Chain A
Amino acid sequence: AQSVTQLDSQVPVFEEAPVELRCNYSSSVSVYLFWYVQYPNQGLQLLLKYLSGSTLVESINGFEAEFNKSQTSFHLRKPSVHISDTAEYFCAVSRKDTGRRALTFGSGTRLQVQP
């Protein structure tokens, strides 16, 4: 089975400051890794994903995440946040070896960007 741990339930940060949202996972098999974002009153949206290749992946709105296999981590970072980044962020994994591809999610981190 897989598990995902997001240690920080809430992360308050000032606008234009850098931020890191932590994600660690546990799995007996290789996994794909994802970050989803849920803006207030909206559904979850895929932010970025790691499937293979370069361990550093980027989103179109300035977020990046780095897959670290030895530390089983996939932390999300942004060098300068905006008010509009206020949302809940979920880290998720899915097994590479099955066809179901159901996601296992962490409990989420609420990013609160303050002016």
Chain B
Amino acid sequence: GNSVTQMEGPVTLSEEAFLTINCTYTATGYPSLFWYVQYPGEGLQLLLKATKADDKGSNKGFEATYRKETTSFHLEKGSVQVSDSAVYFCALRPDNAGNMLTFGGGTRLMVKP
């Protein structure tokens, strides 16, 4: 079956530090890959996506590259801010079943001033 594995948190960083949150997946074919962010007390919001191998998704200074060879979609940001503190979820949608999203367990990021 399909699965998504994320690094366990929490990840605690100082402001302006470099962020990497690892995400690897198991799926057949070429799934679409997503990062969602959940701010405290809110629902999830789509942060970025990539729909084919070697695509780079980017938004709000965050980036992730779809690596088919390593089945990975790591989230990176060059300089985090306190306002980036949230829970980040990696997710995939299989290429043959457009209505199911499989999520990773989530990684909590805490950024200190």
Q: Do chains A and B stick together as partners? A: no
B-side residues, CB < 8 A to A, are none
